[in-house]
């Protein structure tokens, strides 16, 4: 059985949503890579009793390892180190050598800001250099050292104390993993494999039926840990398993291919963004976009990858009809006849931006993102797409997307990328 771990993210700013937690998911992935079973992630505010509550819960759940992030700064609400020391039954004492190393790190600040109170700086240094007895110090990347605090008894968890800023936490992680206390706590780690299947144009409920079919009457996939997630209109199926269960995973993946081959677009975890970029690059093609309701979001996705300048020519944000006419060359009579939200105008945008920017592939998007502006004929969420490619070829679709204004705009970029992928592969329109 593999070692089990819990993560405690501290900080009232994270708890209240002012700051998005990036450390919990990052640490969870690092634990998975080490074969350590991540059981829980908790977020607590800057209150000692809440941190102690989380530590007690994880300890009671039989965790071998607890990771904390945050609460190591110099201010009064940074309480993680002494709280963890007390929880482990290890009193804290000043590490004079560590205090000196922190002083040398902070010294340039005194030169930069001469009005800082030297006594306050010294007190802050000493606070951060208080180390629980028997703990291993992880050298600071900023001013805050990390700690690996083993239990006094063999049944309690080891606690790894890491700083909150990701730029300090990430490089410190490698040092934590190499400590004797960390290795002792995770000696039962098991190597896990993790694979992702991505599908587009299918509800999660259909995947649930596929899981039942794959499992059969003999529980053929019961050893697999399978999770499904609807993200940006795609269904991600992530499977985690031990190497001995490879045959079970192969059976599951084969069942998905058999039942959903036409909409399974990735069996190696690669995103549609990566696939489109690779297809354009491999074929030496360029792309340009003309966006109405998405307001540049598709262009942003196409340029997220380094090296996108090799295939991305540019984009037009043509929100108003006047912009569609002036920038993308859409016939005003066409807009008057069929309306701005129509497949004909989407095709006109795709052709217009392709011609205006000299691209091999053009994409046009026009729709009603809401919350207002819908009609009975064209309700909110109606979006029209067209991909222009080859010798006057078009792949054009109208879809009705659910959700908020953000959801409609965001999912529209996914639909557009899938249409581009299928156009480049000659697959035709997907079942949406």
pLDDT tens profile 299-320: 999 999 999 999 999 999 999 9
Judgement on whether residues 161 and 198 belong to the same structural domain of the protein: no
> Is 157 found in the same domain as 176?
yes
pLDDT of 204 reads 82
Residue 432 in any domain: the answer is: no
Q: How far is residue 396's CA from residue 344's CA, in Å, rounded to a whole number?
A: 9
Residue 431: is its pLDDT beyond 90?
no
- Give the domain CATH number at 307: 3.90.950.20
What is the mean predicted confidence (pLDDT) over 73-102? 92
Number of folded domains that form the chain: 3
Q: Are the beta carbons of 138 and 148 closer than 8 angstroms?
A: yes
Q: Compute φ and ψ for 140, nearest 5 degrees.
A: -65, 145
Statement to judge: residues 159 and 208 lie in one domain: no
Q: In the listed set 236, 266, 296, which residue is the last one of a domain according to the structure?
A: 266
Same domain, 124 and 48: yes
Is residue 430 included in any domain, yes or no?
no
Same structural domain for residues 203 and 232? yes
Statement to judge: residues 296 and 242 lie in one domain: no
Is the predicted pLDDT of residue 328 greater than 80, yes or no? Answer: yes
* pTM of the predicted model over 0.85: no
Are 214 and 168 within one domain?
no
State mean pLDDT over 273-302: 97
Which structural domain, as residue segments, surrounds residue 302?
Answer: 272-425
Q: Does residue 248 have a pLDDT over 80?
A: yes
Cα dist from 253 to 21, 65, 215, 260, 406, whole Å: 32, 33, 12, 10, 33
Q: What is the pLDDT of residue 119?
A: 80
Q: Is the pLDDT of residue 41 over 90?
A: yes
The neighbouring-strand residues paired with 131 are 93
Q: Is residue 145 part of a domain?
A: yes
Compute the distance between CA of residue 99 and CA of residue 227 in angstroms, rounded to an integer: 46
Q: Are residues 14 and 152 in the same domain?
A: yes
pLDDT for the residue 205:
85
Residue 281 in this model has a pLDDT that exceeds 70: yes
Q: Which two tokens stand for residue 81?
A: 């180190």
pLDDT at 189: 64
Residues 10 and 143 in one domain: yes
Same domain, 156 and 176: yes
pLDDT tens digit sequence for 331-390: 999 999 999 999 999 999 999 999 999 999 999 999 999 999 999 999 999 999 999 999
Top pLDDT among 80 and 74 is at 80
- Domain end residue (candidates: 248, 266, 284): 266
Task: Encode pLDDT of 3-27 as tens digits.
Answer: 899 999 999 999 999 999 999 999 9
Q: What is the pLDDT of residue 235?
A: 94
pLDDT at res. 237:
96
> CATH no. for residue 245?
3.30.70.2860
* 281 & 343 share domain: yes
Instruction: Read off the tokens for 8.
Output: 């405690």
């Amino acid at each position: 059985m593999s070692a089990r771990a819990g993560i405690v993210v501290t900080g009232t700013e994270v708890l209240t949503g002012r700051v998005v937690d990036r450390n919990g998911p990052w640490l969870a992935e690092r634990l998975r890579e080490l074969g350590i079973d991540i059981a829980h992630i908790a977020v607590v505010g800057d209150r000692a009793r809440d941190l102690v509550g989380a530590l007690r819960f994880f300890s009671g759940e039989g965790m071998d390892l607890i990771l904390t992030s945050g609460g190591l700064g110099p201010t009064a609400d940074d309480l993680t180190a002494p709280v963890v020391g007390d929880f482990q039954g290890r009193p804290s004492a000043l590490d004079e050598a560590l205090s000196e190393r922190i002083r040398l790190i902070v010294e340039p600040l005194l030169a930069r800001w001469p009005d800082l109170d030297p006594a306050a700086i010294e007190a802050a240094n000493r606070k951060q250099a208080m180390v629980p007895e028997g703990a291993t110090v992880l050298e600071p990347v900023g001013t805050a050292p990390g700690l690996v605090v083993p239990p006094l008894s063999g049944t309690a968890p080891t606690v790894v104390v890491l700083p909150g800023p990701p730029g300090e936490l990430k490089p410190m992680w490698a040092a934590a993993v190499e400590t004797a206390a960390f290795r002792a706590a995770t000696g039962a780690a098991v190597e896990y494999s993790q694979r992702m299947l991505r599908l587009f144009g299918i509800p999660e409920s259909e995947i649930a039926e596929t899981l039942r079919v794959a499992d059969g009457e003999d529980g053929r996939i019961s050893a697999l840990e399978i999770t499904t997630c609807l993200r940006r209109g795609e269904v991600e199926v992530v499977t985690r398993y031990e190497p001995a269960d490879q045959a079970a995973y192969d059976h599951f993946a084969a069942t998905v291919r058999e039942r959903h081959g036409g909409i399974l677009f990735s069996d190696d975890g690669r995103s549609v963004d990566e696939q489109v970029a690779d297809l354009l690059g491999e074929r030496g093609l360029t792309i340009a976009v003309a966006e109405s309701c998405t307001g540049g979001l598709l262009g942003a996705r196409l340029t997220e990858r380094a090296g996108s300048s090799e295939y991305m020519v540019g984009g037009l944000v043509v929100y108003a009809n006047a912009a569609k006419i002036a920038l993308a060359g859409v016939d005003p009579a066409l807009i008057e006849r069929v309306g701005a939200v129509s497949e004909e105008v989407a095709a006109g945008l795709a052709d217009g931006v392709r011609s205006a920017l000299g691209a091999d592939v053009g994409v046009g998007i026009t729709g009603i993102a809401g919350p207002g502006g819908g009609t009975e004929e064209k309700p909110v969420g109606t979006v029209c797409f067209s991909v222009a490619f080859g010798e006057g070829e078009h792949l054009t679709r109208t879809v009705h997307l659910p959700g908020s204004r953000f959801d409609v705009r965001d999912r529209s970029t996914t639909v557009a990328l899938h249409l581009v992928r299928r156009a480049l592969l000659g697959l035709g329109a997907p079942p949406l």
